[in-house]
Amino acid sequence: MKVLGIESSCDETGVALVETRPGGVPRLLAEALHSQADMHGAYGGVVPELASRDHIRRVLPLARRVLADAGSTVADIDVVAYTRGPGLAGALLVGAGVAVALAAALGKPALGVHHLEGHLLSPFLADHAPEFPFIALLVSGGHTQLMRVEGVGRYELLGETIDDAAGEAFDKSAKLLGLGYPGGPALARLADFGNADAFALPRPLLHSGDLDFSFAGLKTAVMTQVKKLGNVCEQERADLAASTQAAIVDVLVAKSLKALKQTGAKRLVVAGGVGANLRLRERLDAGAAKLKARVFYPPLALCTDNGAMIALAAALRLQHGLAALHEDGAFDVRPRWPLAELEPETR
Ligand code: KG4
Ligand code: ZN
> Which of 10, 115, 121, 140 has the most ligand 1 atoms within 8 A of CB, as the residue to mutate?
140
The dihedral built from the CA positions of residue 187, 212, 203 and 43, taken in this order, carries a sign that is positive
Mean pLDDT (whole number) for 110-131:
95
Pair 55, 17: CB distance under 8 Å: no
pLDDT digits (tens, 9 = 90+) for 8-36: 999 999 999 999 999 899 999 999 999 99
Pair 263, 135: CB distance under 8 Å: yes
Atom of ligand 1 nearest to the CA of 272: 1
- Quote the pLDDT of residue 324: 82
Q: Is the pLDDT of residue 206 over 70?
A: yes
CA angle 140, 142, 57 (to 5 degrees): 90
The ligand that comes nearest to the alpha carbon of residue 174 is 1
Cβ of 275 closer than 6 Å to ligand 1, yes or no, is: no
SS3 294: strand
Q: How far is Cα 92 from Cα 323, in angstroms, rounded to an integer?
A: 20
Q: How far is Cα 341 from Cα 90, in angstroms, rounded to an integer?
A: 21
Ligand 2 center–CA 329 separation, angstroms: 26
Ligand 1 center–CA 174 separation, angstroms: 12
Q: Is the pLDDT of residue 112 over 90?
A: yes
pLDDT digits (tens, 9 = 90+) for 271-301: 999 999 999 999 999 999 999 999 999 999 9
pLDDT band, residue 78 (cuts 50/70/90): very high
Q: Count Cα neighbours of 56 within 13 Å in the Cβ-side half-sphere.
A: 8
pLDDT digits (tens, 9 = 90+) for 121-161: 999 999 999 999 999 999 999 999 999 999 999 999 999 99
pLDDT digits (tens, 9 = 90+) for 225-235: 999 999 999 99
Mean pLDDT (whole number) for 152-175:
96
- Quote the pLDDT of residue 13: 98
Residue nearest (by alpha carbon) to ligand 1 atom 14: 184
Burial 151-173 (b: 16+ CB within 10 A, else e): ebbebeebbbbeebbbbbbbbbb
Helices and strands, number each (H, E), in the chain = 10, 10
Pair 241, 277: CB distance under 8 Å: no
The ligand that comes nearest to the alpha carbon of residue 304 is 1
Q: Is the pLDDT of residue 117 over 90?
A: yes
- Quote the pLDDT of residue 347: 67
Q: What average pLDDT does the chain have?
A: 95
**pTM (whole model) above 0.85:** yes
pLDDT band, residue 346 (cuts 50/70/90): confident
Residue nearest (by alpha carbon) to ligand 1 atom 13: 184
Q: How far is Cα 284 from Cα 295, in angstroms, rounded to an integer?
A: 7
| 213 DSSP 8-state letter | B
Q: Residues 221-224: contacts with CB within 8 Å, 24+ apart?
A: 222/172, 222/173, 222/176, 222/177, 223/176
Atom of ligand 1 nearest to the CA of 174: 14
Q: Is the pLDDT of residue 218 over 80?
A: yes
